[in-house]
Structure 1
Amino acid sequence: MATISLCMIVKNEEEYIAKCLNSVSDLVDEIIIVDTGSTDNTEEIVSEYTNNIYFFDFADDFSAARNYSFEKASKDYIFWLDADDVLLERDRVKFKELKNRLDDEVGIVAMKYNYIFDEEDNVVLSFYKERLIRRELKPLWIEPVHEYINVDADIYKTDITITHTRKNTQSDRNIKIYRKFLYEGNELSQKGMMYYGMELLSNNLIQEAIFQLGKFLKLKSEWDSECEWVCLELSACYLKLHDYDNAIKALLYCFEKCVPRAEICCEIGNCFVYKKEYDNATFWFELTVAMKKVRDDFSFVLDMYIDFIPNYQLGICHYSLGDIERAIYYNEEALKARPNNINAKKNDTLYKKIQANA
């Protein structure tokens, strides 16, 4: 059986770290914790799980900290998590099964990451990450923030899911790291351009975000899911400016490069709703509903854009166009995807009341 080192970097994670380690400590053979400056009870908590606790002087470079944690690993494979990640019981079972059959032929294992949830705990955003890497491949983390692993090996995709438990909050930490990185004369990689543009958008620096994301699309030589994500982000920039035509144009750029995915088509429909062009919006939402759910690759998935949002919006479009029967039909389809959604429930009551009084 293969042996596994769990490597983590932490800082002030007393709220999350015990839940994380409880979910995985019996699945791994070694736990490496690198603390980058905790001032709470994180050290005391992790000391109950491992003696391999190291301290690292964090200098606005997450890759440096993660590489340091990887250097401390001694087992066959390195598994990494953040303190607010957990393995649910069904995924713990799958992880055990995977560990039992791991062999030298497997270099990297990618696992699904359920990252953002709505108020009803439905998955909103998910994607795949390289989580388990054979140590002898000498994996290296790259980029000061939004870091990723650079290693040359085939990737084995599994249905094991890592669940993110922290509620996403707005922070200027990452944008400050990027500003410092650029001020020191460093140049962003293409991936760095993408994430910097996204951080600019998150911090409401819209014009800078438009420039950075547009620069990424011009320089990117090979089209992939990152480009589709950037088109969505660029569109979001223009939506903040109420520039719906350029928002649509940013999304339509995907059509020049690839077969667009459901998320792109759905967002085009949303743009036409903002413009109150319900006939045009209906076309795009119906196209979204008819598309295949998920491509079999490592792309991001905006789950609500696949089923709930297009059906919900079709209900609104047909209501606005005076076709109450179709409005009811599509809203009921939306409720099948999200049975407890408050807005869909309200619309269900409204549409059926109108139908009864017709």
Structure 2
Amino acid sequence: MLEELVFISNVCVNHGKVKSSGSRNLQIFKKMEASGVEFTTRDLFYYSNELYYNGYYEEAITKYEKFLESNLGWIEDKKVAIANLIQCYSFTNKPEKKIEIILKSFEFDVPRADICCRLAEIFMSKNQIKQAIFWYKVAMGCIHEKDNLGIDNRDYYTWIPSIQLCVCYSILGDYEAAYYYNELTLLYGGNKTKVEHNKKFLENKFKELGRSIPDLDYKLIDRRFRFF
């Protein structure tokens, strides 16, 4: 019997630690800083990125925070800065700072799906499953901006929150809802291996409980399966 559901961990969602873009640009910025050059808002943003890409997370945090505190810069740069700051706080084990910056991101624009998923992850890690479910559903209800020139991963609007909802509902013992969101994950183009693993797990659960596998044709009328 399968022991547990497969879900998307924080590392998998974020594609692991970011790869270095090389230190050449970073060294240029460091020399500028050492020479007392006053950075423009745009330069500060790029300097923060170079620190982040090269794994200097504590320094990147300082620069990103300074960039955001200036309240200047392109809105898409602010979104990238916030997304990278969340990663920095993850790598430096600052969960409360993650919540703080996620909530601050709502001041700049409507919630973005990847940010909502980050917030849901925090609640999930604290075993606050109902709160996690709420924010994963908010992520699924977000609308992807087709003309957005910034970084915005479409998967956070579809199969990532869907497979996480499968796990959340399974933890709560609501296997019908878990089954629904697992099947939805496949329709969204999610990882087929993970979906099949979860499906076998859930089918075994239904067998143990003496229940039949759910008929999904009627599920959209059930309030549990609506986004809100």
Per the normalisation by structure 1, the TM-score is: 0.49
Task: List aligned pairs for 1:58-97, cutoff 5 A.
Answer: none
C-alpha contact (below 8 Å) 1:201/1:209 kept by paired residues: yes
Task: List aligned pairs for 1:297-308, cutoff 5 A.
Answer: 297-308=148-159
C-alpha contact (below 8 Å) 1:190/1:220 kept by paired residues: no
Of all paired residues, the percent bearing the same amino acid is 29
Structure 2 residue identity aligned to 1:292: I
Structure 1 distance, partners of 2:140, 2:20, is 32
C-alpha contact (below 8 Å) 1:244/1:275 kept by paired residues: no
| Residue of structure 2 in register with 1:240 after alignment | 91
Structure 1 distance, partners of 2:180, 2:105, is 30
1:204 matched to 2:55? The reply is yes
| Residue of structure 2 in register with 1:288 after alignment | 139
CA, structure 1 residues 352+300, in 2 after alignment: closer, same or farther (shift >3 Å)?
Answer: same
| Residue of structure 1 in register with 2:193 after alignment | 342
C-alpha contact (below 8 Å) 1:238/1:244 kept by paired residues: yes
Unaligned runs of 5+ in 1: 1-123, 126-167
Task: List aligned pairs for 1:144-293, cutoff 5 A.
Answer: 169-173=19-23, 174-221=25-72, 224-293=75-144
| Residue of structure 1 in register with 2:182 after alignment | 331
Offset, 1:169: 4.5
Q: Secondary structure at the match of 2:127?
A: coil
Structure 2 residue identity aligned to 1:261: R
Indicate the structure with greater strand content: 1
Offset, 1:229: 1.7
C-alpha contact (below 8 Å) 2:116/2:138 kept by paired residues: yes
Structure 2 residue identity aligned to 1:214: E
Structure 2 distance, partners of 1:291, 1:322, is 27
Structure 2 distance, partners of 1:351, 1:268, is 26
Structure 1 distance, partners of 2:72, 2:91, is 28
Offset, 1:340: 4.1
CA, structure 1 residues 345+179, in 2 after alignment: closer, same or farther (shift >3 Å)?
Answer: farther
Offset, 1:315: 1.0
RMSD: 2.4
Indicate the structure with greater helix content: 2
C-alpha contact (below 8 Å) 1:225/1:299 kept by paired residues: yes
Structure 2 residue identity aligned to 1:246: K
The number of aligned residues is 193
CA, structure 1 residues 254+169, in 2 after alignment: closer, same or farther (shift >3 Å)?
Answer: closer
Offset, 1:240: 1.6
Structure 1 distance, partners of 2:43, 2:180, is 44
Offset, 1:311: 0.6
Structure 2 distance, partners of 1:353, 1:324, is 11
Q: Secondary structure at the match of 2:149?
A: coil
Structure 1 distance, partners of 2:27, 2:150, is 28
Residues 89-142 of structure 1, C-alpha deviations (whole Å, 9 max, x = no match): xxxxxxxxxxxxxxxxxxxxxxxxxxxxxxxxxxx99xxxxxxxxxxxxxxxxx
Unaligned runs of 5+ in 2: 1-13, 210-228
| Residue of structure 2 in register with 1:355 after alignment | 206
Structure 1 residue identity aligned to 2:201: L
CA, structure 1 residues 287+231, in 2 after alignment: closer, same or farther (shift >3 Å)?
Answer: same
| Residue of structure 1 in register with 2:214 after alignment | none
Structure 2 residue identity aligned to 1:200: L
C-alpha contact (below 8 Å) 2:19/2:53 kept by paired residues: no
- Answer 1 or 2: higher relative contact order, Cα 8 Å, separation at least 6: 2
